[in-house]
A and B are shown apart, each in its own frame.
Chain A
Amino acid sequence: MMTFIYDVFIGWQRYQFVRVALVGVLLFAPMYGMLGTMIVNGRMAFFSDSLGHSALTGVALGVLLGMRDPLLAMLLFGVAFAALLCWVKARGKSSADTTLGVFSSAAMALGVVLLSLRGDFAKYSNYLIGDLLSISARDLIPLSAALGLVALYSALRYNRLLLVSANASLARSRGINPLAVEIEFTAVVALVVMLSIRWVGVLMLNAMLVIPAACARNVSDSVRAYIARAIVIALACGVAGLLLSFAAGTSSGATIVLLLTVCYAVTLACAK
């Protein structure tokens, strides 16, 4: 027990890979907290889940194209998949949740089929649950760029996205193109999802995106408080989950999600 406590508070400092992962979490958390508030406002939780599932197909395409690092294929596929989802949803021939369900399952299945063609799917199974402790110092550069992109996007587009999520026709009457706003937003989410999927994992990603915002929503009464609290909750659970998982030898992503879930239960009990 003493070793566990020592590792949580002090022991981790001796390990370069934990220090790097901690910096990674400090970059991830504000991004997820911020994007999560926009996802929850727009009731797009299924949307980001579908994007996460589509990552496997992006990986498979990268592998089939002979790329050593499939990131570029994932990013391009993610943005194209997001735009296609928006377009199909906007046509309104079937309900949004049905469309997302079909796309999500199809993208996941296609990825698994393509990756298992040569019988070595196990090699890619780390994409399912991710590993934050595998973040390298070099990975911090694209993560910092992604955080900058999300901050810039939020500063420029948060207001428009808020109006579109309230009522698309109302937004249109104010000179906003709702479909363009939606495509733009999902492209940003797709970039963040594809960039982080190898460390966060397909199965954990949506929880990490949505739960901080869901917690903050329970205990906030203005947009300012909502976003600030979502970021603080994402940071606190991210850092605590990483260090606890290091000390306990558990999956870091899953540990963070469990902490976020506890946080959600507490905030739900405190909801006004």
Chain B
Amino acid sequence: MKHPARNACGACCLKTEGLTVTRDDLTILKDVNLHVHCGELTAIIGPNGAGKTTLFEALLGMSPHEGKIIYTDAHTGQERTPRFGYVPQSLNMERLAPITVMDFLSADRTRRPVFLKPSSAQRDAVLAELARVGAHALADRRIGALSGGEAQRVMLSLALVPPPDLLLLDEPVSGMDASGLEKFYGVADELRRSLDMSVLLITHDFGMVRRYADRVILLDQTILAQGTAAEVFAGAAFRAAFPGVRPEI
């Protein structure tokens, strides 16, 4: 079950004001005023095409946007650029791509080109990071040949070093079986608690949202509803966005 955030201060650490994204005259996000609280897991739900991934792209600076994105450091109270950890839905890797998990993580961790033999210290460091997410046995496997759950744990390992201010998880469990789901959410929740980080999670899995999310945001171009899972699931906006869906509260 969900661990309470260790040092959640309840303050708003990430705020968007009037965030709007338009592409080719098509409005994808309109006037999104998002509040993410420190140390909390905030789930973003919404129908397909609601702009959830675009919201992440805007936060990461990948999508031109209007409006403000403000991050406030909970410890200093100063505004600054946050350090993001990001776990995408998938990697653009073919199954036979000759890139091991060790190569992939080393490419991020060090300036030493991955086509040179890694030092033993570097290898040990990567193995320790993988062990933290239960993926140390995957180090020498090809990354393109991993199952969905295995690949997500590797990407989570990448996202956690250095410890991010905000962890963005974009549908991290799509295509995962039940045990993989449970394992991934368990690891993410434990890490959130132990590292005291804020997590933004895009998901369609309402059962896991109910179990793990502190707050839920229903997005469809703009924010339609926000609150606890029980509050959002019971609202008219949820029923209109997901007709016929009745998640257990």
A residues sitting closer than 8 Å to B (CB atoms) are: 41, 43, 93, 154-155, 158-160, 162-163, 165-170, 172-174, 178, 216-218, 220-228, 271
B5: min CB distance to chain A, Å = 22
B residues near A162, Cβ cutoff 8 Å: 99, 103-104, 107, 114
B78 at the interface (CB under 8 A from A): no
Contact (Cβ within 8 A) B115 A221: no
**Contacts A162-B104, A162-B107, A221-B100: A167 and B113 contacting too (C-beta < 8 A)?**
no
B24: min CB distance to chain A, Å = 7
Contact (Cβ within 8 A) A41 B97: yes
Most chain B CB within 10 A, of A170, A174, A218, is at: A170
Contact (Cβ within 8 A) B107 A159: yes
B145: min CB distance to chain A, Å = 10
Interface residues on B, range: 35 or more
Contact (Cβ within 8 A) B108 A174: yes
Could you list 17 further interchain pairs (A-B, Cβ under 8 angstroms) beyond the known A165-B92, A172-B61?
A41-B97, A159-B107, A159-B108, A160-B107, A166-B92, A167-B90, A169-B60, A169-B62, A169-B88, A170-B155, A172-B62, A173-B159, A173-B168, A217-B98, A223-B99, A223-B115, A271-B96
Contact (Cβ within 8 A) B97 A173: no
A residues near B159, Cβ cutoff 8 Å: 173
B67: min CB distance to chain A, Å = 19
Among B86, B91, B115, which residue has its beta carbon within 8 angstroms of that of A227?
Answer: B115
State the majority secondary structure of interface residues on A.
helix
Contact (Cβ within 8 A) B114 A223: yes
Contact (Cβ within 8 A) B98 A225: yes
A residues near B115, Cβ cutoff 8 Å: 154, 158, 223-224, 226-228
Of the A-B pairs whose beta carbons lie under 8 Å apart in the complex, a sample of 8, sorted by A's number, is A41-B97, A155-B113, A162-B107, A167-B91, A178-B62, A222-B103, A223-B98, A226-B115
- Complex CA gap A151/B158 in Å reads 27
**Contacts A158-B113, A217-B97: A166 and B62 contacting too (C-beta < 8 A)?**
no
Contact (Cβ within 8 A) A222 B108: no
Most chain A CB within 10 A, of B111, B113, B155, B168, is at: B113
A171: min CB distance to chain B, Å = 9
Contact (Cβ within 8 A) B107 A169: no
Please name the residue on chain A nearest to B167 by beta carbon.
A173
Contact (Cβ within 8 A) B56 A154: no
Please name the residue on chain A nearest to B59 by beta carbon.
A173
Please name the residue on chain B nearest to A213 by beta carbon.
B98
A160: min CB distance to chain B, Å = 8
Among B88, B96, B100, which residue has its beta carbon within 8 angstroms of that of A170?
Answer: B88
Please name the residue on chain B nearest to A272 by beta carbon.
B96
- Complex CA gap A166/B92 in Å reads 5
- Complex CA gap A152/B226 in Å reads 51
B197: min CB distance to chain A, Å = 14
| Per-residue interface assignment for chain B, residues 95 to 129, with 1 indicating a CB less than 8 Å from any chain A CB and 0 otherwise | 01111101110111011011111000000000000
Please name the residue on chain A nearest to B100 by beta carbon.
A222
- Complex CA gap A160/B113 in Å reads 9
A residues near B106, Cβ cutoff 8 Å: 159
Most chain A CB within 10 A, of B88, B90, B108, B168, is at: B108
- Complex CA gap A154/B115 in Å reads 9
- Complex CA gap A116/B56 in Å reads 51
B residues near A159, Cβ cutoff 8 Å: 106-108, 110-111, 113-114
- Complex CA gap A224/B115 in Å reads 4
- Complex CA gap A155/B112 in Å reads 8
B174: min CB distance to chain A, Å = 15
Please name the residue on chain B nearest to A227 by beta carbon.
B115
